[in-house]
Structure 1
Amino acid sequence: MFKAFTSVFKKKPVVAINVTPELVQKRHRLSQNLQQIYKSQIDLMNKSVDNIAKVPLINHYIALNDQYKTQYKEICNKSFENIDYSEENFLKLINKQLDFKVSELEAINNKITIDELLSLDENYTDQINDFFFKFHINRINASFSLKEYIYHESLLQKHSSEKVLNDAIKSTSKILSLNDYPIPKFVITKSQSEFPEIYCIAPHVIHIMFELFKNATIPSITHNKPITINIIDDIENENVIYEIIDNGGGMPTQMLGKIWQFHYTTSKETDRDVIHGFGMGLPLCKVFAKFNNGSLDLINRQGDGVTVRLTLPKFIEK
C-alpha cells in the first residue's frame, strides 16, 4: 500500500553534475536539516526504551535506532562540503537513505503479530500516541527533505483542488481494482463556481484521500450509495475543505475513541492484505495532514454515515 504512493516520486537518473559552491551550500543545508531530524528520531527512541518499550510492538520501531544512527553518521561527513566530492556519490548516498525511508514502515508492519496489536490496544496511552506521532512526523520530514534535494524544486506547491481530487479517485480506483476490491461511485460538488487552489504536497494528499475513500468503499457499496466529496472554499479562513461523505450507517460507538490510535485495527491476522489490516490508515493521515499545515476531523452520523473533513491551506506565509 505504501509503495503505491511513494513510487509517485520516480528516481531521476544520475548524470554527470558539476559541483559548484552553490551546490556545496545546498548539500550543507540538507546535511544540517537531516542531522537535526535524525538526532530527534534517535533521542525519541532512546527515551522510549525506558518509558514505553514494555509494549512489544514499540520495540519494532526502537529496533530502527541503529539504522538511524548509521544514517546520522553518514550525513555528518564533512567531505560533502568539499568541492572535489562528486555529486554522483552524494546522490547515491541520498537515494540509499531515501530507500530506507520508503521501506521502513513496511518492514515494521511485516513483523507485527495480532497479539502485539492486541497488547498495544490494551496498553495504549497518550505517551504512546505522542511517540508514534513524533516518529512519523520525523520520518516524513526526512523523506521530504531527501526528495526535495533530488528534485531540485519545492514539492510543496499550489495545485488545483479539483485535479488533486481527480488524481486521488483515479489512483484509488486503480489500487482497489488491482487488489480485487469493488470500486465505489463518486459524486463531486463545490461551494463556489470555480474550484479553489490548495497549497500542499500532492502525493501526500492523494494518499490521505485514498485511505478515506478505501474506508468509505464497503459501507457505500453495501448501502448502494455513492461517496460524496464537497469542495468547500473557506474564504474567511483562507482554507479549502474536502468534505468526504458516505452513507454507510456510521461507526459503532465503541470504535470512536480508538479510530485515531496508531495500529488499532478490527481486522484479523488472516484478513490482512496490501489494502488494510495494520491500523495505520487514519492516524497516519492525520500526520500527513499536519505536515501539510492542515487538519483532519471525523464526524460520525450514527445510523447514517461518516463525514471526514480534510482542511488544507490556500497558501503558506513565507
Structure 2
Amino acid sequence: MFKLVSSMFKTAPVSVIPVTREVVQKRSSLCSKLQHIYKAQIGLLSNALPRETVDRIPLLKYYTAFGQQYLDQLSELENGELEKTEFSEERFLALINKQLDSKVLELESINQRITPSDLRLLDENYSKQIDAFFSHFHTNRIAASFELKEYIYPEPLLQVHDAKSVVDQAVKTTSQMLTLNDYPVPKFKQVSAVDGDLSVYCIAPHVVHIMFELFKNATLPSITHGKPILISIYGEEADPSTIVFKIKDNGGGMPPSMVKKIWQFHYTTTQDNERDPIHGFGMGLPLCKVFAEFNDGSLTLVNEEGDGVTVYLKLPRGVRK
C-alpha cells in the first residue's frame, strides 16, 4: 500500500531556473501555505491529546514523535534565505523535495514499529478525540504533500478527468498490485451509465488510491462467492454537481462487530504474521475517507449481511471548458 501511495509523490527532475520576481512570489506563496499547515500539525502533535493518553498508548507516541520533524521543516522555511535571489531555485527545489520525501515515508516509518500490543491498546482506548487526532494529522500531511507537488510540477494536480478513465486506471493499478503480491485478481464488471457527462474534478492519484483500497477489500469476498465486483458511475439525482462511483462486491457482507470499527484508524482483523505490503495496517478505509474529503467528496458504506458491501464514493462533477 505504501509503495502505491509513494508512487503518487515522485519527485520531478530539477532543471536550471533563474530566480525571477515571479519565481520568488511563487516560492513565497508556497512557504506561507506550508508554514500554516506545519504550525497546525505542530499544534496538533503537541496539544491535541492529553499527555496521559499519549503515554498510555505507544502508537500515539509514534505520531507525536513527528513534532520535531515538523519544527525542523518549519525552521527551514522561516530562515529568511528563501526569498533572496542568491538562494537558487535548484537549492529550493532540493529542500522541498526533501520535505516531500519525509511526508511519503511517515506512514511507512510508523507501521514498521507497530506491534500487536500497540494495536490492541489503541483499539481498547479508541475515542472520538483520538479519531479526530488521526484525521487531522493525515489531512495536514496530505495538504502539505499537495502544496509541495503543486509547486514542483507544471500541470495542476486538481483537474477535470473522465470518470470512466479514472476507474479504468484504478482497475489496472489494482490488478498489477495484486499480481505483484501473489493475490488472485477478481473480475470487474462496469455497469453502463445513462448520464453522458461523467467527468469529475479531483486529484486523480488520490481517487485511484481510494478505488484500489475498495477493490482490494472486495477481492477475496468476490472471488469466494464467484461474483464480479460491480462498478457503476452516475450523476447524483438529488445533486447535479456530484458524480457517484458505486462499488458492490456481492461477497456476503461483514458481521456487525466489524462494521462498527471499519472507519477506525489502525483497526485490522489481519494477524501480525499475515501482514504484507498491501494488507494488515488498518489504514485503508479511514485514509480513503480523508482522501475523499480532501477532494471535496465523501465516502460511505452500506453493509448487507448475507449479500455484500456497497461503497459510494461521491466527487464534484467536472465542468469541461
| TM-score band, normalised by shorter chain | over 0.9
Helix, strand or coil at the partner of 2:303:
strand
1:222 is the counterpart of 2:224 = yes
Query: Distance in 2 between the 1:295 and 1:193 partners?
Result: 20
Q: Counterpart in 1 of 2:184? A: 182
CA contact (8 A) 2:9 2:104 kept: no
1:59 aligns with 2:76: no
> Where does residue 290 of structure 2 map in the other structure?
287
Distance (whole Å) between structure 1 residues aligned to residue 245 and residue 138 of structure 2: 23
Whichever residue aligns with residue 123 of structure 2, its letter is D
User: 1:151 matched to which residue of 2?
Assistant: 153
1:210 CA drift (Å) = 0.4
Q: Residues 226-275 of structure 1: CA distance to partner in whole angstroms, max 9, x if unpaired?
A: 00001011254111100000111000011111000000001111011101
Q: In the aligned structure 1, how far is the partner of 2:40 from the partner of 2:186?
A: 41
Q: Which secondary structure state, in structure 1, belongs to the residue aligned with residue 19 of structure 2?
A: coil
Q: Offset of 1:315 from its aligned partner?
A: 4.1
SS at match of 1:78: coil
**What is the number of equivalent residue pairs in this alignment?**
316
After the TM superposition, which residues 110-125 of structure 1 pair with which residues of structure 2 at under 5 Å, given as runs?
A: 110-125=112-127
- 2:9 touches 2:100 (CA, 8 Å); kept in 1? no
Distance (whole Å) between structure 2 residues aligned to residue 20 and residue 153 of structure 1? 20
Q: Normalised by the size of structure 1, how large is the TM-score? A: 0.97
- The answer to whether the 8 A contact 1:133-1:287 is kept is yes
Secondary structure in 2 aligned to 1:80?
A: coil
Q: Structure 1 residue 162 and structure 2 residue 177: aligned?
A: no
Structure 2 CA distance for aligned equivalents of residues 201 and 52 of structure 1 = 35
Q: Work out whether residues 161 and 318 of structure 2, in 8 Å CA contact, stay in contact via their aligned partners in 1.
A: no
Shift of 1:153: 3.2
* Structure 1 residue 190: Cα displacement: 3.3
- Counterpart contact for 1:247–1:305, Cα < 8 Å: yes
Give per-residue Cα distances to partners, 1:261-306, cap 9 Å, x unaligned: 0000011110111011010000000000000000000000111000
What is the rounded CA distance, in whole Å, between the counterparts of 2:101 and 2:190 in structure 1?
36
- Find 1:137's aligned residue among 139, 142, 146: 139
Q: Separation in 2 of the partners of 1:183 and 1:195? A: 30
Residue 89 (1) aligns with residue 124 (2): no
Aligned-residue identity in percent:
56
Unaligned runs of 5+ in 2: none
Amino acid at match of 2:90: E
The residue number in structure 2 matching 1:50 is 51
Give the letter for the 2:276 counterpart: D
| Secondary structure, counterpart of 2:280 in structure 1 | coil
Q: Distance in 2 between matches of 1:143 and 1:45?
A: 18
Number of the residue aligned with 1:264: 267
Which letter does structure 1 place at the counterpart of 2:260?
G
Distance 1:172 1:195, change over 3 A: farther
Aligned to 2:29: 29
Q: Is the 8 A contact 2:253 2:309 kept in 1?
A: yes
Q: In the aligned structure 2, how far is the partner of 1:227 from the partner of 1:46?
A: 43
CA contact (8 A) 2:300 2:312 kept: yes
For the structure 1 residues 270 and 191, does the alpha-carbon distance in structure 2 shift closer, same or farther, using more than 3 Å as the test?
A: same
RMSD: 1.3
Q: TM-score, normalised by structure 2?
A: 0.96
Q: Separation in 2 of the partners of 1:123 and 1:11?
A: 38
Distance 1:195 1:175 in 2: 30
Given that 1:3 and 1:102 are in contact with CA atoms closer than 8 Å, whether structure 2 keeps it comes out as: no
Measured against aligned partners, the alpha-carbon deviations of 1:71-124 in whole angstroms (never above 9, x if no partner) come to 110111211111221000000001000000000111001001011101100000
Consecutive unaligned residues of structure 1, counting only runs of 5 or more, are none
Provide the rounded CA distance (Å) in 2 between the counterparts of 1:181 and 1:102.
25
